[in-house]
Amino acid sequence: MNQGAANMQWEVVIGLEVHVQLSTRSKIFSGASTAFGAEPNRQACAVDLGLPGVLPVLNENAVAMAVRFGLAIDAEIPEYSTFERKNYFYPDLPKGYQTSQMAHPIIGRGEVEITLPDGTTRTVRIHHAHMEEDAGKSLHEDYSGMSGIDLNRAGTPLLEIVSEPDMRSAEEASAYLRALHAIVTYLGISDGNMAEGSMRCDVNISLRPRGQQTLGTRAEIKNVNSFRFVERAIAFEIERQSELLEDGGIVVQETRLYDPDSDETRAMRTKEEANDYRYFPCPDLLPLMLDEAYVEHQRSLLPELPSEKRHRFTGELGLSAYDAGVLTASRPLAEYFERVHAVCGDAKLAANWVQGDLMARLNQDGLDISESPVSAEQLGGLLSRLADDTINGKAAKQVFADLWAYKGESADEIIAARGLKQVTDSGEIEALCDRVIADNPAQVTQYREASEDKRGKMIGFFVGQVMKASRGTANPPQVNAMLKEKLDALL
Amino acid sequence: MHDRTLAELARGLAGGEFTSRELTAALLERIERIDPALNSFISVTGEQALNAAERADSARQQGKAGALAGLPLAYKDIFCTEGVRTSAGSRMLDNFIAPYSATVVDKLERAGLVSLGKTNMDEFAMGSSNENSWYGPVKNPWNSELVPGGSSGGSAAAVAAGLVPAALGTDTGGSIRQPAAFCGITGLKPTYGRVSRYGMIAYASSLDQAGPMARSAEDCALLLNAMAGHDPRDSTSVSRAVPDYSRELDKPLDGLRIGLPAEYFGEGLDADVEKAVREAVKVYESLGARVIDVSLPHTGMAIPAYYVIAPAEASSNLSRFDGVRFGHRCDDPASLEDLYKRSRAEGFGEEVKRRILIGTHTLSEGFFDAYYRKAQQVRRLIRQDFLDAFDKVDVLMGPAAPTTAFKLGAKADPVQMYLQDIYTIAVNLAGIPGISIPAGLVGGNHPTDHRPVGLQILGPHFGEAHLLNVAHVYQQATDWHQRRPPVEGQA
């Protein structure tokens, strides 16, 4: 059965728990570095190793980042929050407990606006967000019969953002995840690098008959680490659960893992097997008190947020909701676009080029916007020349290719060097048109004999010849008009 | 030399009467001779001690020696000491060489104190008789059939036996004050947060506090001067100015208001102990103090509340001892679970296991509110009892323990053992400071029948300077603190 059919009968209910790694330089409770990629256990100090006698000290930067996230989603920031210990044994959990927040998390209720592919927006409510430390990693390769433990990641600050079960499709879940990604990268509180695990999520998903109020039994899919995998995992779960329910079965509350290789989720453990984490307040950390002055100070440090930018792009700049959504997906992209726009002054032109030619080349070369060989200023300069008719669209593509290949410092330099300046002198254009008409008597005859609607298409041949003769520099609309006038005079 | 106080030894060093090396060598010789019968040390670090003594001597020659330079002391084996085994009295850590030093150890080392070694203790500080040590029980220097008290029994016995002039202990429910009372020395538990806990192996983090154990209140003041203060590595240490604890030792006690809590003189209190304590109070009256009867109505709930909170914290604190990264690991584990189970089963003693089980149970889902939350409520009431009392009086006085030292093996029932701490435990729950000073010898006429009695004096939070003053003035008027056990006879 396909997903569409399942959706006819069942309503899908999805909530996400997203772990965002905060980009502090040191760990949440120790001074060890959080940099990615070091040799195993080189970035684990006595505190991270959980040596006897060590104590945690809360990283103030991590607190500031969490608070800024809270402000960005318009959440309650309680004056008082506490840290709790979540107790369980695992080899990569050095202390035998994870320091987390449970009873009084740092961030209360808030909401995130999401944009769906069709440009419509929705609101997903946030239940809370809490701070916690990451665990280490178990390495199962290279140690025959044993496991290696790398505690470099142990103690990395995480913000766990828990949504309400407000999403109704894989698309919405993915859009929500993208919205969170945009927020945390705009805030600069996370690099958002999903491949390195800086952002990963647990998906809670259940089905219920349409119209039913109570929630169905949910499955939790753990540790999904890409936008696409989230969509795939949800699609698989919808199918699995709907088949189960339609066959008269029941969904068991359990934790599942998504395997990207086989594109399926597999049961990990059921509720009965779940740990009793024995949460209790961590006696080594005092309650965290945040006064209004502190929160207001953090607010003053907030940049323009994705939703604010999106609204400005559609409102002030007149972009479509779709364009605004694409351009604000990441802060570097939005800022690139804004710089291009600032230089060329034409928002739609800038939006088309950034999303079109630029993104295509970046994707082709596997580059990030921050690595673009063409700077926003260079692209802006190029688009200025397009906007003021100095060059035509064809020449613009050529200039862009040259800029990409570092064949010039600026569009103006390349235009001058290659003689791409558009010919707008009507005398010059007229001479070219006359020559092309004189040189192609057969085509002229065909044109004269054709019906009116065919003639419209046939004129393209002459335009092409004129452009060729001008080495692409003639102004195409002018050429078009001139040719039409001259050819129609021959009818 | 072995009978002198720290203050006297400091004068001897300053006056050139002897060097730190001579003093250290003499005490090491004495330890070697006497301690095999007492078992008060787990590790004697003779070579390091002599080196440190020589450094202190040469600093003195260069005129760079501080007031405490060259004075010997010992650390309860719960303080991490870099490069030295730190066992916490447990088989679990028999092979653990601490890679760093506790903040207090660092501070005292910088002050020039010379560590002779690590003293015996109840495993992970759980016990009141020092019988729960992997390294065997400690004998009371007054009589080898008696326990020295616990859990800082090794420190108390070593100081009483003249093996070292002072030692550090830790006090979670009476573990400094009760052994000080049993061995006839002076022991101070500071206010919670006054001394850093960093590097002190945690038993119950919200109750643990390090303190000095010595032959006089004056000596405790000297040590506390070097120990106290905020530590950026311990979030629960308080940033509050540290007074000079030696300065007001001699302040007259005219008008001192002494509160005698009715609950500390009730059923279960040994008649001889009560008599000695009341006589001590009379001495205070003769020194100008006034006695006021007070009540601490929630005293009876202290032991039950403690035996919920302390084991809960301990069950979590001791999770890190899993055989994975350090400490005892069982031979040939068949699986991860087997590694955990056998390492912990073999590494921990009976009492530790009992408390881990109690704590695990009380934190479990469904029990948390009935136990842990309720115990925290009781804790607040107990704290309020003290605050109310200190509205009316300056200090509270009573016995440090209901009896004098009991025989080894006399208290096989854990609950009987827990009742030992009836007068000390509430103090930890409230976080206030307390001191136990020698206030009499009871028992027969023969020297080996003498059993010391401890007078406990309690003050409001951060009232250490006043407590030490009250204790010191008494020690100027009496000589109980100068009585020494007949150790040589036993040796």
Closest chain A residue to B341, measured at CA: A89
Distance from CA of B66 to the nearest CA of A (A): 28
Interface with chain B: mutation pick from A26, A84, A280, highest number of B CBs within 10 Å: A280
Number of domains in chain B: 1
SS3 A186: helix
Which residues of chain B does A137 touch, with a Cβ-Cβ cutoff of 8 Å? none
Residue A332 corresponds to which tokens in the numbers above?
A: 């570097």
Asked whether residue A406 falls in the same domain as residue A430, the answer is: no
Residue ranges of chain B whose pLDDT lies below 70: 488-491
Partner A contacted by B202 (CB < 8 A): yes
Nearest CA in chain A to B200: A53
Contact B316 A280 (CB under 8 A): yes
Q: Which of B486, B491, B490 is nearest to B184 (CA)?
A: B486
What is the least distance, in Å, from the CA of B467 to any CA of chain A? Answer: 27
Distance from CA of A286 to the nearest CA of B (A): 7
Angle (deg, nearest 10), helices A476-489 and A426-439:
50
Tell me if chain B has a CB within 8 Å of the CB of A51: yes
Cα B255–chain centre separation? 30
Residue B169 Cα, gap to closest chain A Cα (Å): 15
CB contact under 8 A, B236 and A286: yes
Beta bridge partners of A281: A84
Residue ending a domain, among A357, A390, A418, is: A418
- Taking residue A470's Cβ as centre, other Cβ atoms within 10 Å add up to 18
For residue B322, give the nearest of A49, A57, A89 by CB distance.
A89
- On whether any CB of chain A is under 8 Å from the CB of B199, the answer is yes
Q: Is A325 helix (H, G, I), strand (E, B) or coil?
A: helix
Beta strand ranges found along B315-409 (DSSP E): 395-399
Residue in B closest to A87 by C-alpha: B316
For residue B445, being part of any structural domain is answered with: no
Yes or no: say if B394 and B369 are a contact pair by the CB < 8 Å rule.
no
The Cα–Cα gap between B121 and B147 comes to 12
Residues A226 and A177 reside in one and the same domain: yes
Residue B354 lies in a domain: no
The set of catalytic residues of B is: 76, 151, 175
Q: Is the same domain home to A292 and A308?
A: no
Domain interval for residue B174: 6-253+476-490
Same domain, A166 and A271: yes
CB spacing of A96 vs B319 below 8 angstroms: yes
Candidates A361, A345, A303, A349; CA nearest to A323 is A349
A5 CB within 8 Å of a chain B CB = no
Sort out which chain A residues have CB atoms less than 8 A from B340's CB and list them.
89
Same domain, A91 and A137: yes
Which CATH number is B195's domain given? 3.90.1300.10
For helices B20-38 and B46-61, what crossing angle results, to 10°? 160
Asked if residue B420 belongs to a domain, the reply is no
Measured distance CA(A197)–CA(A212) in Å, rounded: 37
Q: Do B205 and A283 touch (CB under 8 A)?
A: yes
Distance CA A235, CA A245 (A): 15
Query: Which of residues 198 through 257 in chain A touch B, CB cutoff 8 A?
Result: none
Which of B435, B436, B420, B426 lies closest to B386, judged by CA?
Answer: B426
Distance CA A124, CA A176 (A): 7
Structural contact between residues B52 and B108, judged by C-beta atoms closer than 8 angstroms: no
Predicted local confidence at residue A455, as pLDDT: 84
Only one residue has tokens 């001191």, namely B435
Taking an 8 Å cut-off on Cβ atoms, the answer to whether B235 and A58 are in contact is: yes
Contact check, Cβ <8 Å, A276/B364: yes
Q: Which residue has the tokens 């808030």?
A: A110
Q: Which of A418, A444, A459 is the last residue of a domain?
A: A418
CB contact under 8 Å between A284 and B235, yes or no, is yes
Same domain, residue pair A470 and A321: no
Q: How many CB pairs under 8 A join A and B?
A: 99
Are A47 and A172 contained in the same domain? yes
Q: Which of A272, A297, A322 is the last residue of a domain?
A: A297
Say if residue A329 is in the same domain as residue A431. no
- φ, ψ at B192 (rounded to 5°): -60, 125
Q: Are residues A34 and A181 in the same domain?
A: yes
In this prediction, residue A478 carries a pLDDT of 87
Preferred mutation among A30, A51, A277, A289 to probe B, highest tally of B CBs within 10 A? A51
Domain membership of residue A480 as a residue range: 426-489
For chain A, 491 residues long, the average pLDDT of each consecutive 10-residue run is 57 97 96 89 93 98 98 97 96 96 97 89 96 92 79 96 97 95 95 91 95 92 92 95 91 91 87 83 97 97 93 95 90 95 96 96 93 96 92 91 92 89 82 90 89 84 88 85 88 78
CATH (domain of A459) = 1.10.10.410
The predicted structure's pLDDT at residue B491: 39
Q: Which residue in chain A is spatially nearest to B100 when comparing CA positions?
A: A46
Q: Which residues of A touch B363 (CB under 8 A)?
A: 87, 278-280
Q: A105 and A18: one domain?
A: yes
End-to-end C-alpha distance for chain B, whole angstroms? 18
Q: Angle at the Cα of A432 (from A428 to A433), degrees rounded to 5? A: 115
The domain total for chain A is 3
Provide the residue type at A71 as one letter.
L
Name every chain A residue with its beta carbon within 8 A of the beta carbon of B102: 53
Query: In Å, how far are B2, B16, B20, B109, B224 from B60, measured between CA atoms?
Result: 21, 10, 10, 15, 22
Flag whether B334 is in a domain. no
- Rounded to a whole number of angstroms, the distance between the first and last alpha carbons of chain A is 62
Does residue B311 belong to any structural domain of this protein?
A: no
The reply to whether B361 falls in a domain is no
- Give yes or no: residues A95 and A196 share one domain: yes
Is A27 touching B (CB cutoff 8 A)? Answer: no
A239 and A263 fall within a common domain: yes
